[in-house]
Amino acid sequence: MVHFRLAQKLGWVSATLSMLACGGSSDDGVGPPQGAMCVSGSGSVQVTVGDNFFNSQNESVPVNGTVTWTWSGVMAHNVTFTAGPAPLPTTSCTQSFGSHSVTFTTAGNYDYVCTLHAGMAGSVMVTP
């Protein structure tokens, strides 16, 4: 099917452009979150970044737990924290694939959104 192959190519091009746009800042803005690089497996949670949703939207981890957002859709999204104990965690790139991890060292409730899509939001409860 010609149309199907074309759609596939367009999807690839779009993903590549997104990556280049993101890489322009040399990507060093996404540094390791404050300290704690060694985290026990029990404190790790995975969140899927789809086209236009986070799954699951509401997660909970203990202090020093890590949440990893993994992009699975075709469109570009970001993870931008809007509320929580200061300083707020690092914002991800606006990207259409790849992942972003945050290790939470302070207990509290964190809210985040994708700034590109209204209603695309989630939260992480960090328990003491």
Q: Which residues bind Cu ion (CB under 5 A)?
A: 77, 114, 116-117, 120
Would you say 107 and 86 are in contact if contact means Cβ atoms under 8 Å apart? no
- Which secondary-structure segment (H or E) carries 100? strand 99-104
Report the nearest approach of Cu ion to the CB of residue 1 (Å): 29
Q: Of 44 and 52, which CB lies nearer to Cu ion in the complex structure?
A: 52
* Distance of closest approach, residue 54 Cβ to Cu ion, in angstroms: 9
Shortest distance in whole angstroms from residue 79 CB to Cu ion: 9
Q: Which is nearer to Cu ion, 36 or 75 (CB)?
A: 75
Least distance from Cu ion to the Cβ atom of residue 112, Å: 11
| Measured distance CA(35)–CA(103) in Å, rounded | 9
Report the residue number, 77 or 124, with the smaller CB distance to Cu ion.
Answer: 77
Which pairs count as long-range contacts for 16-21, CB under 8 Å and 24+ apart, including other chains? 18/76, 18/94, 18/95, 18/96, 18/97, 19/95, 19/96, 19/97, 19/98, 21/94
Cβ proximity to Cu ion: between 77 and 100 the closer is 77
